[in-house]
C-alpha cells in the first residue's frame, strides 16, 4: 500500500469536516454533538472491544512504553529548560510551551494512520501509551504551573472515557471473561464509525483555531513535535531492541501533531494560549507532509 493511499482518505475526511465547519453547513453545536458521540461512545467502544479480546502480551510491553516515554519526557524537559533558562520565561509559561512540543494527537491522528497502514489488529500494541500520555504530560504541566485543583485533575484523568474503557477492556481480558455476542455486537457497531468521526471532528475543530502573531514560536514548537520527537523515539526504539513494527507504531504516534487538549490546558492555566493555538493549526497542517515522510521511512 502506497503512502498516498494511506494518507489521502484520512486527509479527505478531515477536510470534509473542516469544510462543513467553515461553510457553517454544520454549526459548532452540531460539531460538538458529533464530538461527544465519538469520544464518549464510539472510541470507548473501539477500545473496550479490542482490548477485551487481544493477547495481553501484545499490550503489556515495557520496552515499547519506555521507547515512547523516555523521549517524550526528555523532549518536555529540554523545551522547559530552554524556555526558562534561555528565553527567561517563568516556569508556568515554559511548562505550557513544553507541553506544546511533546503532546501528541494520538487518538485523532496516530490511531487512524496506524490502522490505515498496519490494520486494526495492531492497535493493541500501542493502546497503553494513550492514557499515560495525557496523565504524565498534563500532570507535569499542572505541577510546574502551580495552578489548578490537583484533586480535580486526578478525578478527571481517572474518569476519562478513554482511560476507563481501556481499564475495562484490560480487566475483562485479564479475568478471562468471554465477550458475549449480545455485548460484542453493539460494541462493534458503535466502534465502526469511531475513526471516521474522530477525523471529521479534528478537521471541523481546526476551523475554530486561528493563527496569531505568535506563529514564529509556534513553528519552532511544531518542528520539535513533528521531527525531533519522533526521531528521538526512532533512536530509542532501536536502543531498546524493538521490532521494526513496534518502532513504526511508536514513531507514528510521536509524529502526530499537537493535540487540541494542550490548547485547553493553556486556556485553563491562562498561559500562552495564542502560541498553543497556533501550534495546533501549524502542526496539524504540516503533519500531512511529515507523517507521510515518516511512513515512507518506516514502511
Rg for the chain (alpha carbons), in Å?
A: 18
> To 10 degrees, what angle do helices 161-174 and 150-158 make?
50
Q: What's the pLDDT at 133?
A: 84
CB of 28 closer than 8 Å to CB of 206 = no
Task: Give the C-alpha separation, 125 to 284, whole Å.
Answer: 24
| Among 231, 257, 232, CA closest to 112 | 257
pTM, two decimals, is: 0.86
The pLDDT profile of the chain, 299 residues, written as one tens digit per residue, is 578 788 888 999 999 999 999 999 999 899 999 989 998 999 899 889 888 887 776 667 889 999 999 999 999 999 999 999 988 888 888 999 999 999 998 888 888 899 888 887 777 777 778 778 888 898 888 888 766 555 666 666 666 787 788 889 888 988 999 999 999 999 999 999 998 998 998 888 888 876 666 778 899 999 999 999 999 999 999 999 999 999 999 999 999 999 888 888 888 888 888 888 889 889 998 999 999 999 999 97
Task: Give the C-alpha separation, 187 to 280, whole Å.
Answer: 31
Calculate the alpha carbon distances from 15 to 11, 105, 275 in Å. Answer: 6, 17, 23
Task: Give the C-alpha separation, 215 to 161, whole Å.
Answer: 33
| Among 25, 21, 52, 85, CA closest to 191 | 52
Q: What's the pLDDT at 6?
A: 84
The full 3-state SS of the chain, as one line of letters, equals CCHHHHHHHHHHHHHHHHHHHHCCCCCHHHHHHHHHHHHHHHHHHHHHHHHHHCCHHHHCCHHHHHHHHHHHHHHHHHHHHHHHHHCCCCHHHHHHHHHHCCCECHHHHHHHHHHHHHCHHHHHHCCCHHHHHHHHHHHHHHHHHCCCCHHHHHHHHHCCHHHHHHHHHHHHHHCCCCCCHHHHHHHHHHHCCHHHHHHHHHHHHHCCCCCCCCHHHHHHHHHHHHHHHHHHHHHHHHHCCCCHHHHHHHHHHHCCCECHHHHHHHHHHCCCHHHHHHHHHHHHHHHHHHHHHHHHHHC
CB of 263 closer than 8 Å to CB of 277 = yes
Q: What's the pLDDT at 58?
A: 62
Amino acid at each position: 500500500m502506497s503512502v498516498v493511499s494511506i494518507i489521502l482518505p484520512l486527509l479527505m475526511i478531515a477536510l470534509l469536516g473542516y469544510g462543513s465547519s467553515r461553510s457553517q453547513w454544520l454549526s459548532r453545536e452540531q460539531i460538538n454533538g458529533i464530538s461527544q458521540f465519538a469520544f464518549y461512545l464510539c472510541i470507548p467502544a473501539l477500545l473496550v472491544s479490542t482490548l477485551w479480546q487481544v493477547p495481553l502480551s501484545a499490550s503489556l510491553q515495557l520496552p515499547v512504553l519506555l521507547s515512547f516515554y523516555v523521549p517524550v519526557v526528555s523532549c518536555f524537559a529540554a523545551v522547559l529548560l530552554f524556555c526558562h533558562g534561555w528565553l527567561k520565561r517563568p516556569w508556568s509559561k515554559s511548562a505550557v510551551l513544553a507541553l506544546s512540543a511533546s503532546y501528541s494527537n494520538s487518538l485523532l491522528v496516530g490511531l487512524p494512520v496506524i490502522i490505515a497502514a498496519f490494520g486494526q489488529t495492531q492497535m493493541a500494541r500501542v493502546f497503553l501509551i494513550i492514557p499515560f500520555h495525557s496523565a504524565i504530560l498534563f500532570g507535569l504541566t499542572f505541577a510546574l504551573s502551580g495552578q489548578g485543583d490537583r484533586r480535580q485533575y486526578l478525578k478527571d484523568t481517572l474518569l476519562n472515557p478513554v482511560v476507563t474503557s481501556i481499564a475495562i477492556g484490560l480487566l475483562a481480558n485479564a479475568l478471562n471473561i468471554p465477550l458475549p455476542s449480545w455485548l460484542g455486537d453493539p460494541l462493534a457497531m458503535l466502534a465502526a464509525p469511531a475513526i471516521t468521526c474522530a477525523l471529521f471532528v479534528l478537521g471541523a475543530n481546526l476551523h475554530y483555531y486561528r493563527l496569531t502573531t505568535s506563529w514564529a514560536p509556534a513553528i519552532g514548537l511544531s518542528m520539535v513535535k513533528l521531527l525531533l520527537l519522533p526521531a528521538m523515539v526512532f533512536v530509542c526504539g532501536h536502543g531498546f531492541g524493538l521490532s521494526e513494527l513496534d518502532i513504526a507504531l511508536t514513531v507514528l504516534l510521536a509524529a502526530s501533531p499537537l493535540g487540541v487538549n494542550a490548547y485547553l490546558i493553556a486556556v485553563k492555566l491562562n498561559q500562552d494560549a495564542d502560541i498553543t493555538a497556533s501550534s495546533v493549526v501549524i502542526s496539524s497542517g504540516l503533519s500531512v507532509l511529515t507523517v507521510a515522510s515518516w511512513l515512507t521511512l518506516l514502511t
